[in-house]
Structure 1
Amino acid sequence: MKKTLILGASTNPERYAFLAAHRISNHGHPIELVGLKEGVVAGQQIHTDKPAFDDIDTVSLYVGPRNQPEWYDYIVSLHPKRVIFNPGTENDEFVALLTQNGIEAQEACTLVLLSINAY
């Protein structure tokens, strides 16, 4: 079980973050959701603040590089084992910060990792 925070969660079924929430849940991993707008996805509430979640294994990132700096301290404070930079979210500055804090940074697609049982 890899408790996963989806950052950039959305109620829009056409967004990859929406699909990821459902697929991660379907693979038996608990999820937490943070996004810009409240709502419910895969049975979980989307938080619009920065809750202090416990035991986050993975952060699946769906926030573009330009909007990531406001999330740096928050993500580091959660002490996840890894952060997955989904396509379009790659950010060398953030990768360096995560690495300095002992957090694995992985440039990959959450949906592909799940589909090949490499999550």
Structure 2
Amino acid sequence: MEKKTLVIGASINPERYSNKAIKSLKNKKIETIALGLRKGEVESVTIETEQLLFKEVHTVTLYLNSKRQEDHYEYIISLNPKRVIFNPGTENPEFYKLLEKNNIETEIACTLVLLATNQY
């Protein structure tokens, strides 16, 4: 099953975990889209700076701290993904509850580990 993934908090900096996640998703042949503070490109994935209404997003993987997530609550819910992955440092109980109310799965995990261990 195709798990089209939106990386929020994407960065062109190769040291950032969001950047490593984009590369790993592409390596696993998973359709990847990205949203970040600055436009750029990673592995031919354009980092958008506006909250575009992407279609058929299966997974949203977060690389934003809980405070910075607040501006994205409604946007993420409007995409109606199957799940949202909270990577280390992005834990947010307030957002978990909102997602649960909207029947969106939450997963507290590391995208890179999930991909490396074929649990994605």
* TM-score band w.r.t. shorter chain: over 0.9
Query: What's the RMSD between the two structures over aligned residues?
Result: 0.4
How far did residue 42 of structure 1 move?
Answer: 1.4
User: Could you tell me which amino acid in structure 2 is paired with residue 32 of structure 1?
Assistant: I
Q: Which residue of 1 aligns with 2:67?
A: 66
Q: How does the TM-score come out when normalised to structure 1?
A: 0.99
Correspondence 1:7-86 to 2 at 5 A:
7-86=8-87
Alpha-carbon displacement from aligned partner over 1:11-43 (angstroms, at most 9, x marks no partner): 000000000000011101000100000000110
How far did residue 44 of structure 1 move?
Answer: 1.1
Gaps of 5+ in 1: none
- State the identity %: 50
Q: Which runs of 4+ in 1 moved over 4 A?
A: none
- 3-state secondary structure, aligned to 1:68: helix
Q: Which residue of 2 aligns with 1:89?
A: 90
User: Could you tell me which amino acid in structure 2 is paired with residue 110 of structure 1?
Assistant: T
Alpha-carbon displacement from aligned partner over 1:30-69 (angstroms, at most 9, x marks no partner): 0010000000011011100000000000001001001111
- 3-state secondary structure, aligned to 2:107: strand
